[in-house]
Structure 1
Amino acid sequence: MNFPSHIVSVCGLIENDEGKILMVKNPVRGWEIPGGQVEVGETIIEALKREVKEESGIDIEIGNLTVVHSNIGIGVQYDGVSPIPTIVTFGFTAKSLSGELATSEESLEVCWFERGEVLNLIEEEFITDRVKCMLNYDGRVTYGAFSRNPYILQGVQYI
């Protein structure tokens, strides 16, 4: 029997007092909202706060769960060999509390952008679709399943 292998990840649409959105430039994927994998023994809330701080230098207050996205495709890591497990991502709104913008190994650049600019910066389709749902959050959580290479969105529904 094969045991399931899933990665749980988080991301945040972080807004400052001026209504601008925090973006980080990943060395592989380009511009995206901050986030990453939940570590063993960590809650998704703790993980999001940690990831945002690590990638941007910003401390946050988490708001609403806005999106759940499942990468259901079988893929290969950037090394061209290692398999990519299924990934389930929880996306939240959040407010910036404090901190100074800072880069890291995971963020070549960190910047605040106007809401209207955000989608134009993102190069990866799966990230664009996720952030679009987050920007258009209307109180309902959006669920979407997708696979990559080629990118196929299996469907979006409200839960």
Structure 2
Amino acid sequence: MSFPTHIVSAGGFVKDSKGNILLVKTRDGGWVYPGGQVEAGENLLDALIREIKEESGINVEVSHLVGVYSNTGTFKWYDGVTDVPTQVIFDFVCKPVGGELSVSEETTDSSWVAQDRVLDFITHPAIRSRYQAYLDFNGRVKYMEYVNYPTFTIKHQAGIT
């Protein structure tokens, strides 16, 4: 018997007291809100806090869940060889509690961006869709299934109570 393999990730919408959103510029994918993969033995919230700190230098408290996403497309990683499996992603709202903007091995820039200008920075369609779900959040967690390759396609959407 073999078990399915999934990547579990978390993303954080970090909003400061002035209404700005934390964005990081990745080496591979342009501007995004911070987040990343959960490591073996790590829980989801600790992974999110770690990833935000690593990518941006900002310390956060996690507030609440706003979206759950399944990227069910399989494709080759940047190396052209490695198969990337289904990814399950949890997006949370976070509050900054310290730290200073910085960069990492994964990022080339980090910045606080006015909430109404964030979509001017983000070009990746899946990240844009997830950011829009954050903007539209009405207390119901959004679920979306999508594929990134060969083109971004939404396969299913729903609100979860």
Is TM more than 0.5 here?
Answer: yes
**Structure 1, unpaired ranges of 5+:** none
Letter in 2 for 1:157: A
TM value normalised by structure 2: 0.96
Helix, strand or coil: the match of 2:61?
A: strand
The yes-or-no answer on 1:158 pairing with 2:156 is no
The yes-or-no answer on 1:36 pairing with 2:33 is no
Helix, strand or coil: the match of 1:108?
A: strand
The yes-or-no answer on 1:103 pairing with 2:139 is no
Letter in 2 for 1:88: V
**Structure 2, unpaired ranges of 5+:** none
The yes-or-no answer on 1:58 pairing with 2:58 is yes
The yes-or-no answer on 1:122 pairing with 2:129 is no
Counterpart Cα distance in 1 of 2:29 and 2:157: 23
Counterpart Cα distance in 2 of 1:94 and 1:41: 22
| Structure 2 equivalent of residue 137 of structure 1 | 137
Counterpart Cα distance in 2 of 1:95 and 1:135: 16
Cα offsets for 1:81-126 (capped at 9, x unmatched): 1100110000000111111101001110000000011112111101
Counterpart Cα distance in 1 of 2:122 and 2:102: 20
RMSD, matched Cα: 0.8
The yes-or-no answer on 1:7 pairing with 2:7 is yes
Letter in 1 for 2:57: G
Off by >2 Å, runs of 4+ in structure 1: none
Cα offsets for 1:111-149 (capped at 9, x unmatched): 000001111211110111011101221111000000112
Letter in 2 for 1:132: Q
Pairwise CA distance, 1:2: 3.6
Letter in 2 for 1:156: Q
Aligned residues: percent identity? 42
TM value normalised by structure 1: 0.97
Counterpart Cα distance in 1 of 2:31 and 2:92: 18
Counterpart Cα distance in 2 of 1:75 and 1:106: 21
| Structure 1 equivalent of residue 26 of structure 2 | 26
